[in-house]
């Protein structure tokens, strides 16, 4: 994989564009069963990271991911800042001294997801961002272990994240504000699962574009 921190500004721009394009949907989902500030918090964190993207692009992966995590924790606030910050900090530790190949990427992603599980005291099936993250992570680990082609790996990753996200519609939440709604939360997609799925999909597409350009 010819992916380096130099590509980070490109990833940030793509994520920002995707979130903006789906803003009305995300806000609607969050207002239905959440606090209504999920997208605002994400955009605040993303804006802060974009301000240091030149600095990040000159770092190694471990240092860049650490800087991203710390920036998100200090700017997003609330549960989202803690969860996203923990995700990147855990990835940073897993990336230390490693090259960005498929095997190490899968291990880094797994470390990040495990950190979110631990920090949020949550798991799959509880109507959270983990319902997108965990299936995507498991799909990536399986395809990397079996040496699947990158295009196949990316397609499976995106499909797993989307399937996981869609599964939240039938769930009753057990975490966050939505947990107080009981059965009334059923029938709504989780906003965190939706944004996580969008971000995963955008990053996966950009990886393919970058590989095709090389």
- What pLDDT score does 198 carry? 98
The total of other beta-carbon atoms located within 10 Å of residue 181's CB is 16
- What pLDDT score does 111 carry? 98
The total of other beta-carbon atoms located within 10 Å of residue 78's CB is 11
Does residue 120 register a pLDDT over 70? yes
Per the listing, tokens 């897993």 go with 94
CATH number for the domain spanning 153: value is: 1.25.40.340
| Per-residue confidence band for 184, with pLDDT thresholds at 50, 70 and 90 | low
pLDDT digits (tens, 9 = 90+) for 76-114: 977 888 999 999 999 999 999 988 888 999 999 999 999
| DSSP states along 6-47 | GGHHHHHHHHHHHHHHTHHHHHHHHHHHS-S-HHHHHHHHHH
| Per-residue confidence band for 175, with pLDDT thresholds at 50, 70 and 90 | low
| Per-residue confidence band for 178, with pLDDT thresholds at 50, 70 and 90 | low
Tokens (6 digits) for 197: 């799925």
Q: How many domains does the chain have?
A: 1
Mean pLDDT of the chain: 91
Per the structure, the complete domain to which residue 101 belongs is given by 5-213
Residue whose C-alpha is closest to residue 167's, from 190, 151, 147, 195 = 190
């Amino acid at each position: 994989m010819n992916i380096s921190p130099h590509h980070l500004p490109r990833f940030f721009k793509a994520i920002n564009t995707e979130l903006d394009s789906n803003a009305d949907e995300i806000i609607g989902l969050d207002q239905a069963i959440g606090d209504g500030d999920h997208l605002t918090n994400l955009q605040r964190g993303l804006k802060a990271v974009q301000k240091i993207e030149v600095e990040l692009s000159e770092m190694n992966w471990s240092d860049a991911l650490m800087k991203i995590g710390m920036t998100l924790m200090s700017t997003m606030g609330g549960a989202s800042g803690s969860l996203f910050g923990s995700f990147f900090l855990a990835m940073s530790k897993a990336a230390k001294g490693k090259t960005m190949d498929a095997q190490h990427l899968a291990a880094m992603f797994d470390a990040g997801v495990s950190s979110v599980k631990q920090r949020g005291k949550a798991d799959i099936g509880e109507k959270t961002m983990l319902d997108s993250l965990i299936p995507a992570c498991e799909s990536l680990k399986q395809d990397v272990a079996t040496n699947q082609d990158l295009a196949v790996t990316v397609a499976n990753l995106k499909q797993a994240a989307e399937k996981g996200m869609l599964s939240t519609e039938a769930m009753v939440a057990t975490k966050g504000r939505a947990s107080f709604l009981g059965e009334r939360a059923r029938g709504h997609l989780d906003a965190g699962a939706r944004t996580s799925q969008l971000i995963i999909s955008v990053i996966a597409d950009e990886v393919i574009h970058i590989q095709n350009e090389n």
